[in-house]
Amino acid sequence: MIRFAHPEYLYALSLIPLLALFLWWMARKRNAALQQFATDELLPRIAAGTSSRKRIIKQSILILALASLVVGLANPQLGTRLENVKQEGVDIFIALDVSLSMKAEDVKPNRLEKAKYEINNLINRLAGDRIGLIVFSGESYVQFPLTTDYSAASLFLDAVDVSSVPDPGTAIGSAIDKAVQSFPLNDPTKKVLVIITDGENNQGDAINEAETAGKKGIIIYTIGMGSPDGAPIPIYDANGHQIDFKHDRSGTIVLTKLDEASLEKIASLGNGKYFHASNSQDELDLIYKDINALQKHEFGTKQFTDYEDQFQYCIGAGIVLLLIEVLLSDKKIPWLARFNPFRSIGNGEVTKDSFGVVK
């Protein structure tokens, strides 16, 4: 299995096509300058010792070298041994509401971003516990199953947005049912479900689902995002500027209100607690303190336990390619030209390569 220790560096690879485009543009400018300097008949004599093909090869080597260095900086690692590892912990599923109402800004910067920030903090504190993420609005989906790969969990969390689930609405009951199906109920580990939502359940029967989960031994905590008085849902343009608020069909601004009563009832049926989110407090930290007090059980999980760094190969290849690019001349090699089967083609006429550069 291959993973990257610093995957954020891979974004630099997006600059490689821009570099190739820049080199092509420079070649076009060079050719235009040569055309102004001399006639088509005179150019082959002036540039007789220069090889445009070797220039293209040098540019290609430069691009490959930079790509190799970027991959090396990301530090690819190879998992060399897969074994069954015994760990001790609690199974935790986070059910995160990604409906449009979670974009309301009565909790800063908005309800969804505050929730993601707290979840990421929780992931960073975990040590041995398995964590999974369910996203829901009108439907629910497992964003990632129970895992101890906290780095991968953080990456999947970063990708979550209100567009993660296409169905509008807030189906808390569906999220609870999805968690019940996703927990390994035969394992002796304690099972905790944390629901983060504004509580405006409008689909399904969340109360009955919570009661079913509680009977199966799943402890449910709920975190209410927002204000009971309601807040408007801002609308932003493509540049990130707020242009309006969400309106209903009659043209009235929609206010999304926190339903604390329902969330308190769900937590009670799941033998857990309800927390009201605030700007100054990390509610998941309080929940994790409760979780740590639970009795933890051993569970087995297959994972790569020995990852070896492979960055040296990519860095080495990049350095070698850079040296070749520096040492490689763009001049023609006379003795090698004799073996060129196409040397007689053209009869003195000026030819151009795919870059539009005079050969």
Residue ranges per domain, the chain? 2-78+309-337, 83-303
**Does position 81 have pLDDT exceeding 70, yes or no?**
no
- pLDDT value of position 167: 83
pLDDT tens sequence across 17-50? 998 899 888 888 877 776 776 666 666 666 555 6
The answer to which of 63-67, 72-76, 315-319, 352-356 has the lowest mean pLDDT is 352-356
Residue with tokens 């540039």: 47
Q: Give the SS3 label for residue 242.
A: strand
Q: Can you name the CATH fold of 83-303? A: Rossmann fold (3.40.50)
Residue 143 has pLDDT above 90, yes or no: yes
Is the pLDDT assigned to residue 93 strictly greater than 80?
yes
The pLDDT score that the predictor gives to residue 39 is 62
- Beta-carbon contacts of residue 37 (< 8 Å; ≥ 6 apart): none
Average pLDDT over residues 307-326: 88
Tell me, what DSSP letter sits at residue 247?
A: B
Q: 325 falls in which pLDDT band (50, 70, 90)?
A: confident
Closest alpha carbon to 179 in 164, 162, 196: 196
Per-residue pLDDT, 354 = 46
Closest CA to 189 of 213, 215, 153, 217: 217
pLDDT at 274: 95
Cα atoms in the 13 Å half-sphere on the side-chain side of 289: 5
Is a pLDDT exceeding 50 seen at residue 342? Answer: no
> What is the arithmetic mean of pLDDT over 191-200?
90
Over 90: is that where the pLDDT of 299 sits?
Answer: no
Provide the CA 305 distance to its chain's centre, in angstroms. Answer: 24
Percentage with pLDDT > 90 across the chain = 34
Banded model confidence at residue 348, pLDDT cuts 50, 70, 90: very low
- For range 141-157, the mean pLDDT: 93
The rounded radius of gyration (Å) of the Cα atoms in the chain is: 30
Query: Pick the residue with more confidence: 343 or 78?
Result: 78
What would the mean pLDDT of 54-69 be, rounded to a whole number?
A: 88
Which is it for the CA torsion 209, 215, 220, 225, positive or negative? positive
Distance CA 320, CA 332 (A): 22
Which H helix or E strand runs over 308? strand 307-309
- How many Cβ atoms sit within 10 Å of the Cβ of residue 257? 17
Residue 272 vs residues 62, 214, 309, 344: alpha-carbon distances, Å? 59, 9, 43, 86
The predicted pLDDT at position 259 comes to 86
Q: What is the mean pLDDT of residues 270-299?
A: 84
Answer yes or no: is pLDDT of 56 > 90.
Answer: no
- Rounded distance between C-alpha atoms, residue 195 and residue 223, angstroms: 6
What does pLDDT average to over the chain? 82
- Better-predicted residue by pLDDT, 232 or 178: 178
**Of residues 250 and 320, which shows the higher confidence score?**
320
Q: pTM for the whole thing?
A: 0.59
